[in-house]
Chains A and B, each alone.
Chain A
Amino acid sequence: MIVEMAKIRILGSRPLLPAVVGLLQDEGDVHIESRPRDLHEVESEIPVIRRHIVTGDALRIREILESALDKIRKLLLVLPPSPGGNGAGTGEAFVPPPLAGNEASLRGHLAPLDSIALRVETVLAERKRLEDESSLFSRYEKVLNALAPLIAVVRESRDLECMGLLFQAQDRGAAPLLEQALSRLAGDHYEILYREVDKETLAGLLIFPAEKASEAKALLWEKNIGELRLPSSVADKPVGEALEILLRKQEEIPGRIRELDAELSAVSDRWRGMLAGARLWLENRIGQLLASDSFFESHLTFLLYGWIPREKLGGLEKSLASAYGEEVVMERLPIGKPEEEQVPIAISNSPLVRPFEIFTRILPLPRYGTIDPTPYIALFFPLFYGIIIGDIGYGLLLLAIASLVKRRYRSNRFLADAATVFSWAAVSAILWGIAYGELFGDLGTRLGLRPLFLHRMGDFLETILFALAIGAAHVLLGIVLGIRSAWKSGNRGETAARAAGLVLVIGFLGMLAGILGKAPRAFLPAGLAVIAVSLPVMIFTGGPAAAMKLHNLMNILSYLRIMGIGVASVALAYTANRIVFLVPWPALGIVAAVTLHAINLGFCILSPTIQALRLHYVEFFENFFDGGGRAYKPFKIVA
């Protein structure tokens, strides 16, 4: 249900403003209104009233706090978690600066943050450089490993130049040709050593007289043979030396990264607790400063508008009175009709109904003064789900799955709520399974179970009529809720149109019952007469657009899906059971049957959920749900 809200105005002595902000934050119940609708009236009554002016000093302090918070958030993001995993370290604790402190004292208090940030940034920058280097070297790893033994036998001098070569599989034939060309160029004054890198690549190390190096490189280019390009950090070094450096670094980098990680862990152990405490303090302090922006003031007083749940009103009144006596006054203001759209929405339901809020949370919040549909979903969702599945076996399995999920994910609110919802839905499926006499399809019948209410695979017409009856009841309830909403909003024309729409649907249903022989024949003319009267009334009171409400008749037909999906599910279960007798090998038949039942169970989780929700969202809500409410966001301490 939508929590009843009270509109409040707090007036007090201006020097008390920071203390009152702190008290409101501690209480955590007031949704501060930054754009009150009746401000113009107040401004005309008290001409000196103006929005609270943030002074230059206060702005600078806010900037310092925001900058510190930004640094802390980044630090907490990059620092490793403490060994306990609770986010808090065992080292330094945060000591909040005095509230009355000036800019200089605040800077002094937060100064250690800069040195921690600098230290962490330096370590992270070094770590990143090493990681980049390692990633770059890893691309050379195979080639380096292949060439390493050759490097050991090569000793370069100023007269010799060493070049790394790479031959791809398709170019290997070029190696003898290259050697021939090299011997023409330098006679016997060259050496070329080969090592297999992998099936695709052959690496070579070419040692050549330095004065012929440019001609040798031209030759490589001419023969289209790839020269090993080394990373820029060692590109100026002779190949042998460069490869040795790369190999050495490759070995050193992991150890150096471990050292840096240990340094980060040490910083985290010492400072994480302090940083977490400072973050909370800063978030709350900045929250207070931002909240002050929504206050109004004159020379001597401050003024605040806000919303509070009506049940919390007394508590706040007492807190203010005991803290400030008559220096701060809180008054409750009436909520005008045009203001209702501005009232923040808080939803509060009983523990039984609350899990079903997972279905209403994906919709916009309802407007104030309208209806929270959660209790109706809590009633009808399990009902529809049960009517669709209607099988003791599937119900029991679903109940077991829901219980397991609930136990396993107790800390995950969404999953725990979903598991509770499906537990109720499964119980409903079991009860309807008893009514239909179904246990894994017709296995129940084979075991002697008999339908108490409907045999879905035989009584097709009755099943269709039952689905339509459920639909009629649900849609009529939606129309009644719509009438109540329209009445509460004071729109008499709309109320009359909706009431006429209700009568019209009842007339139509009566006429249909007369036609189908489910009611005395007199229902046919009586229903026609009701339609003939209610239709013009509906259009006259609600305007031509009210004719759209005739859509409710189609909406009732849409509930046939309860029958359709249900019968399809039973048919699949029947097929699974019959497969056992159709397959020549019983073991294979049983495996096939179990597989088909498992598939059906999967459908049972997904399809009835979507269909039951659709019946709520589209057919049921259409008549009364008015979305677009503003969320209630109380000003409170961040914990």
Chain B
Amino acid sequence: MTVGLIALGAGLAIGLCALATGWAQARIGAAAVGAILEKPESLGTVIILLVIPETLVIFGFTVAILILTTLK
């Protein structure tokens, strides 16, 4: 039971963060395509903006790993 709850917690940690990252990247990506069409030289800035939300899922992944290490 405890193992199951720990695994569920780890899954939620990464799953919810991934959803949040996806939601943010979808919005940024849509705006980014428009920005690049208008101003192709903004590609560098756009890539930076696009990968910023990935920090969320990385943190989620790290938290998931930390949760799973308690199983040892």
Number of interface residues of B (CB under 8 A): 17
Q: Which of A114-122, A134-142, A525-533, A553-561 contacts B (4 or more CB under 8 A)?
A: A553-561
Bound state CA distance, A111 and B28, in angstroms? 56
Contact A558 B55 (CB under 8 A): yes
Q: In terms of DSSP, what is the predominant structure of the interface of chain A?
A: helix
Residues of A within 8 A of B62 (CB): 464, 560, 563-564
Q: Please name the residue on chain A nearest to B54 by beta carbon.
A: A561
Give the most central of A464, A563, A564, A614: most B CB within 10 Å. Answer: A564
Q: Please name the residue on chain A nearest to B69 by beta carbon.
A: A460
Contact B48 A464 (CB under 8 A): no
Bound state CA distance, A362 and B39, in angstroms? 13
Q: Does B33 contact A (CB under 8 A)?
A: no
Contact A613 B59 (CB under 8 A): no
Pick the contact of B52: A563, A564, A618 (CB < 8 A): A618
Contact A464 B65 (CB under 8 A): yes
Contact B48 A567 (CB under 8 A): no
Q: Please name the residue on chain A nearest to B43 by beta carbon.
A: A362
Bound state CA distance, A564 and B18, in angstroms? 13
Residues of B within 8 A of A614 (CB): 47-48, 51-52, 54
Bound state CA distance, A464 and B68, in angstroms? 14
Q: Which of A457-513 contact B (CB under 8 A)?
A: 460-461, 464
Contacts A460-B65, A460-B69, A464-B65; A564 near B58 (Cβ below 8 A): yes
Residues of B within 8 A of A560 (CB): 58-59, 62
Q: Please name the residue on chain B nearest to A464 by beta carbon.
A: B62
Bound state CA distance, A613 and B65, in angstroms? 25
Residues of A within 8 A of B69 (CB): 460-461
Looking at the assembled complex, report how far the CB atom of B39 sits from the nearest CB atom of chain A, in whole angstroms: 13
Looking at the assembled complex, report how far the CB atom of A522 sits from the nearest CB atom of chain B, in whole angstroms: 26
Q: Which of A541-587 contact B (CB under 8 A)?
A: 557-558, 560-561, 563-565, 567-568
Contact B47 A613 (CB under 8 A): yes
- A interface, size bucket: 20 to 34
Q: Does A363 contact B (CB under 8 A)?
A: yes
Chain B window 44-72, contacts with chain A (Cβ cutoff 8 Å), 1 for yes, 0 for no: 10011001101101110110011011000
Q: Does A617 contact B (CB under 8 A)?
A: yes
Pick the contact of B44: A363, A461, A564, A567 (CB < 8 A): A363
Q: Which of A215-273 contact B (CB under 8 A)?
A: none
Q: Which of B31-48 contact A (CB under 8 A)?
A: 43-44, 47-48
Bound state CA distance, A611 and B51, in angstroms? 8
Q: Please name the residue on chain B nearest to A621 by beta carbon.
A: B48
Contact B61 A362 (CB under 8 A): no
Q: Please name the residue on chain B nearest to A467 by beta carbon.
A: B62
Pick the contact of A610: B47, B57, B58, B59 (CB < 8 A): B47
Looking at the assembled complex, report how far the CB atom of A418 sits from the nearest CB atom of chain B, in whole angstroms: 15
Q: Please name the residue on chain B nearest to A460 by beta carbon.
A: B65
Looking at the assembled complex, report how far the CB atom of A313 sits from the nearest CB atom of chain B, in whole angstroms: 32
Looking at the assembled complex, report how far the CB atom of B72 sits from the nearest CB atom of chain A, in whole angstroms: 9
Q: Please name the residue on chain B nearest to A617 by beta carbon.
A: B48
Contact A611 B54 (CB under 8 A): yes
Residues of B within 8 A of A613 (CB): 47
Contacts A561-B58, A611-B54; A567 near B65 (Cβ below 8 A): yes
Chain B window 14-36, contacts with chain A (Cβ cutoff 8 Å), 1 for yes, 0 for no: 00000000000000000000000
Pick the contact of B61: A461, A564, A611 (CB < 8 A): A564
Q: Please name the residue on chain B nearest to A609 by beta carbon.
A: B47
Bound state CA distance, A51 and B47, in angstroms? 44
Pick the contact of A568: B52, B55, B59, B61 (CB < 8 A): B61
Bound state CA distance, A565 and B62, in angstroms? 10
Chain A window 344-382, contacts with chain B (Cβ cutoff 8 Å), 1 for yes, 0 for no: 000000000000000000110000000000000000000
27 A-B interface contacts by CB (under 8 A):
A362-B43, A363-B44, A460-B66, A460-B68, A461-B66, A461-B69, A464-B65, A464-B66, A558-B58, A560-B58, A561-B54, A563-B62, A564-B57, A564-B58, A564-B61, A564-B62, A565-B58, A567-B61, A568-B61, A610-B51, A611-B51, A614-B47, A614-B51, A614-B54, A617-B44, A617-B48, A618-B48
Q: Interface on A for B, CB 8 Å cutoff?
A: 362-363, 460-461, 464, 557-558, 560-561, 563-565, 567-568, 610-611, 613-614, 617-618
